Structure 1
Amino acid sequence: MTLQTANKSTQPASEVLLGKSLPELTEWVQQQGQPAYRGKQLYQWLYQKGARSLTEISVFPKRWREELADYPLGRSTINYRSIAADETRKYLLRLADGAIVETVGIPTAKRLTVCVSSQVGCPMACDFCATGKGEFVRNLQTHEIVDQVLTVQEDFQQRVSNVVFMGMGEPLMNLSPTVAAVKSLNQDVGIGQRSLTVSTVGIPGKIVELAQHKLQIVFAVSLHAPNQQLRQQLIPSAKHYPLDTILADCREYVRVTGRRVTFEYILLSGVNDLPEHALELANLLRGFQTHVNLIPYNPISEVDYQRPDRYRIEEFERILQEHKIAVSVRYSRGLSADAACGQLRASRI
């Protein structure tokens, strides 16, 4: 699957109501012959009450509800749900065309984070990632991304505080719906932009394009290697996007947005976690307005990578700190349910 082919693989546009703004919903109800104030009612029932059918909206006239009983709102159905030992919940959601997409709800004492998918499958084929081992099907539409957050919020009966675009797919290969979903989650669902994270392995030209939207999101780049040769080994698509070019685009992103870039680095035992790798990474990022997230590898069945031991992880972190690189270690939630970073595959395995 080439990058160009993947960009063209998307579901035909359909008229659904989820993902529309208040003005758009107001215009829609007026087109149906209803007064403008019903647009606000519809907006509240969609985004605050999580309506799944227009028949649920009790403030609408009964006859009108019956006429619109089959009109699509754009909600998915939960095909499967599992709960990990740490209370993380993994969902397989069935979309209108029958495609299955995976999303994860991650609760802590103070927040509820949703890890959303931006594509059905992923064309990037990262060697350590379960999603990349499967088939790429298509891009998700805006409403299909927003729906994931509403579904998790409804299931937990708790307001979502944070959203990370780190599920199935490459968000920057589906940039327009991703940006539209960010804006809808912010303006319609009410989640602050600085509580939204978009993560990418890097698509030529797209980092600079994203910067032009001047979003106040957290922007994360999956680096995973301190040099081009190793990065290309782990991320085959990296051959299209040299490391020096991706870093130049990241610097442009910082200049345009005034926001720092977070670099994600999955630690693979004996592959990219040696002291010399840490030193090389520190030199690569010197003088950069950034933060590094170290992510100990989460195992999948298709490959034989191993997670480093705690000493190796702490040594890598220490070297970065000694060289004045802001760094933290992120241990993934949901391991026991195959819901952790890199384990999503849209199956029950």
Structure 2
Amino acid sequence: MTVPAPAANAATSDVLAGIVKAPLAVAGRDAVPSLLGLTRDRLADTLREAGIEERHLRMRVGQLWHWLYHRGAADFASMSNISKDLRADLAGRFVVGRPELVTEQISVDGTRKWLFRFPSRGAGRPVEVETVYIPEEGRGTLCVSSQVGCSLTCSFCHTGTQTMVRNLTAEEIVAQVVVARERLGDFPQGEKAEGRLPAEGRLVTNVVMMGMGEPLMNYDAVRDAMQIFADGDGLSLSRRRITLSTSGVVPLIPKIGGDTGVMLAISLHAVRDDLRDVLVPINRKYPIAQLLEACRAYPGLSNARRITFEYVMLKGVNDSAQDARELVRLLRGIPAKINLIPFNPWPGSIYECSSWDRIEAFAEIVNRAGYASPIRTPRGRDILAACGQLKSASERLKIGERLALEAMIGSNGDDD
């Protein structure tokens, strides 16, 4: 493999553009539990422990579920079909969890990115994640994070350069969807936000677990959150409009399909083990042959429920005609489509994006073989919201400071 030379350092002002440098206070323990993110069974158990009589449990769970996920209630006071006494009792015991919204950025193409801050969940500092909304004609896709940082260190991914801090809870995963819908005005009686949005219907129609982190490394919380997304009496997203993307945690791929029934996307990015070992290091544990066998075993796989294989186009690395032909050979017999993703640059990356001619030539080969291979047009690059660019603000500031220091040292050396 030929690794391209490191790209020139970005200006510090570009790295910090649009980011609010808010101080991070040290958080204490979480004093009040939240009802957001609990499955129906866990919500029933929680209410039972709070003293709700068994004969009323099913009704109370249904009422709370409706207010939390269908109406988007942010507090108990607005839950008008629950008695005042019970609302007061619930408010004394629980909260309807919401993260701190640190920044909201809107790209020139309408893409929105939110930086959310969550409590530390123990000793240490609060943590941050980014969530991205991509509006298109007739649909709106929300890209949701599952971890703070990532442990997989994919070499082309900005998030992979951030230290793994912790898993997000189911509450924190669900809260990203709830707050996004609030900000967009996508709940009943909500005021529709200004800007480029779908003209009619729901504003969040699709959810993809493609944000920060590897979802299958946070299995239980991601499973519970996706079941809440799909619940017909709540957020009510079709399972065919919920997609989990994995870099290849092979043993859990068929399991998540059986537990949730959602769509699957695989971050493939290479057709040879030696190259994928570098680009996606989990390949050293679960090589391509094992990964594709797990895909063939995915529950419900059919021409109507295809697996999406994501393939980032890296100049001189994985973009040859031979790579395209080998990709076709590898996927033979798997109901699949291929998403070609132009590489989205980030400060300090050693990779460059393939030329547009090379991307189109690659797409022609896989299209001729019968695979739908749309080229995913980069969205939100100007606010670092595109695929592979997500990172917490504090980590991005560290990078900006490091690049500025390197530039200063380099200029001093030139003077000598």
Aligned twin of 1:40: 62
- Alpha-carbon displacement from aligned partner over 1:192-217 (angstroms, at most 9, x marks no partner): 1000010000013111322332x432
Aligned twin of 2:277: 232
Secondary structure of 1:328's counterpart equals coil
Query: Quick check: 114-123 or 278-287, which moved more?
Result: 278-287
2:165 aligned with 1:137 = yes
The structure 1 residue matched to 2:298, chosen from 253, 273, 291, is 253
Aligned twin of 1:266: 312
Aligned twin of 1:54: 76
- Alpha-carbon displacement from aligned partner over 1:133-169 (angstroms, at most 9, x marks no partner): 0110111111211111111111011242100000000
Measured after TM superposition, the shift of residue 29 of structure 1 is 4.4
Identity over aligned pairs, percent: 39
Partners of 2:117 and 2:128 within 8 A in 1: yes
Please give the alpha-carbon distance, in whole angstroms, between the structure 2 residues aligned to 1:65 and 1:208. 42
- Alpha-carbon displacement from aligned partner over 1:272-301 (angstroms, at most 9, x marks no partner): 111121122122222322111111111111
| 1:306-345 matches, cutoff 5 A | 306-345=352-391
- Alpha-carbon displacement from aligned partner over 1:303-337 (angstroms, at most 9, x marks no partner): 13111222111100011122333322111321111
C-alpha distance 323-48 of structure 1, shift in aligned 2 (>3 A):
closer
Please give the alpha-carbon distance, in whole angstroms, between the structure 2 residues aligned to 1:227 and 1:292. 17
After TM superposition, the score normalised by the length of structure 2 is: 0.75
Please give the alpha-carbon distance, in whole angstroms, between the structure 2 residues aligned to 1:87 and 1:288. 35
Secondary structure of 1:276's counterpart equals helix
Secondary structure of 1:104's counterpart equals strand
Partners of 1:285 and 1:325 within 8 A in 2: no
The structure 1 residue matched to 2:102, chosen from 79, 82, 85, is 79
Measured after TM superposition, the shift of residue 60 of structure 1 is 4.0
Residue identity in the other structure for 1:47: Y
Please give the alpha-carbon distance, in whole angstroms, between the structure 2 residues aligned to 1:53 and 1:192. 27
Residue identity in the other structure for 2:73: A
The structure 1 residue matched to 2:135, chosen from 107, 114, 118, is 107
Please give the alpha-carbon distance, in whole angstroms, between the structure 1 residues aligned to 2:103 and 2:45. 36
Please give the alpha-carbon distance, in whole angstroms, between the structure 1 residues aligned to 2:337 and 2:60. 46
Residue identity in the other structure for 1:249: A
Aligned twin of 2:222: 178
Aligned twin of 1:278: 324
Partners of 2:311 and 2:340 within 8 A in 1: yes
C-alpha distance 44-85 of structure 1, shift in aligned 2 (>3 A):
same
Please give the alpha-carbon distance, in whole angstroms, between the structure 2 residues aligned to 1:179 and 1:21. 10
Partners of 1:27 and 1:39 within 8 A in 2: no
Residue identity in the other structure for 1:343: Q
- Alpha-carbon displacement from aligned partner over 1:11-42 (angstroms, at most 9, x marks no partner): 99x94211234565456446444755444332
Secondary structure of 1:327's counterpart equals coil
Partners of 2:38 and 2:170 within 8 A in 1: no
The higher relative CO (CA closer than 8 Å, separation ≥ 6) is in 2
Please give the alpha-carbon distance, in whole angstroms, between the structure 1 residues aligned to 2:218 and 2:301. 20
The structure 2 residue matched to 1:289, chosen from 335, 338, 351, is 335
RMSD of aligned residue pairs (Cα, Å):
2.3
Partners of 2:310 and 2:341 within 8 A in 1: yes
Aligned twin of 2:175: 147
Aligned twin of 2:405: none
Please give the alpha-carbon distance, in whole angstroms, between the structure 2 residues aligned to 1:205 and 1:151. 32
Measured after TM superposition, the shift of residue 75 of structure 1 is 2.1
C-alpha distance 288-180 of structure 1, shift in aligned 2 (>3 A):
same
Please give the alpha-carbon distance, in whole angstroms, between the structure 2 residues aligned to 1:228 and 1:33. 56
Partners of 1:298 and 1:343 within 8 A in 2: yes
The structure 2 residue matched to 1:241, chosen from 267, 280, 286, is 286
2:34 aligned with 1:16 = yes
Aligned twin of 2:153: 125
2:350 aligned with 1:304 = yes
- Alpha-carbon displacement from aligned partner over 1:56-79 (angstroms, at most 9, x marks no partner): 434444455445246232321211
Please give the alpha-carbon distance, in whole angstroms, between the structure 1 residues aligned to 2:144 and 2:366. 30
Q: Name the larger-Rg structure.
A: 2
After TM superposition, the score normalised by the length of structure 1 is: 0.89
| 1:202-221 matches, cutoff 5 A | 202-213=248-259, 215-221=260-266
Residue identity in the other structure for 1:211: G
Residue identity in the other structure for 2:144: V
Please give the alpha-carbon distance, in whole angstroms, between the structure 2 residues aligned to 1:114 and 1:93. 14
Please give the alpha-carbon distance, in whole angstroms, between the structure 2 residues aligned to 1:257 and 1:143. 29
- Alpha-carbon displacement from aligned partner over 1:229-250 (angstroms, at most 9, x marks no partner): 1111111221111111111111
Query: Quick check: 55-64 or 178-187, which moved more?
Result: 55-64
C-alpha distance 190-237 of structure 1, shift in aligned 2 (>3 A):
same
Residue identity in the other structure for 2:114: Y
Secondary structure of 1:317's counterpart equals helix
Query: Quick check: 72-81 or 272-281, which moved more?
Result: 72-81
Measured after TM superposition, the shift of residue 49 of structure 1 is 2.3
